[in-house]
Amino acid sequence: MSKASGTDWERLQRLGDQDLNKDDIPELGDDFFRRAELRVPAKQAVTIRLDADVLEWFKAQGAGYQTRINQLLRQYMQAHRGS
């Protein structure tokens, strides 16, 4: 379902921290982490009727099929906000 990454993961695994250029990334201090908040939208259990073949396809993709359905619905919602 997700697009294949173009990242050379093998090359990145060989790099050490000293090989990464982090000059344009400011350090995050203790104050940042003290004020940081994790915001996860609340989940709500619902009953939804889906075509059997649609549900079967999502389940065939493996564990997390409900999360993938939710992600697709969120993308649709965001694409159609304000229209």
What ranges do the domains of the chain cover? 10-79
pLDDT of residue 3: 74
Q: Quick one: DSSP state of residue 38?
A: -
Ramachandran area for residue 56 (φ above 0: left; ψ -120 to 50: alpha; else beta) = alpha
pLDDT of residue 21: 87
Using the predicted structure, report yes or no on whether residue 1 has a pLDDT greater than 70.
Answer: no
pLDDT of residue 69: 97
pTM for the model stands at 0.53
- Which two three-digit tokens encode residue 82? 């304000």
Tens-digit pLDDT profile for residues 12-69: 889 888 888 888 998 899 999 999 999 888 999 999 999 999 999 999 999 999 999 9
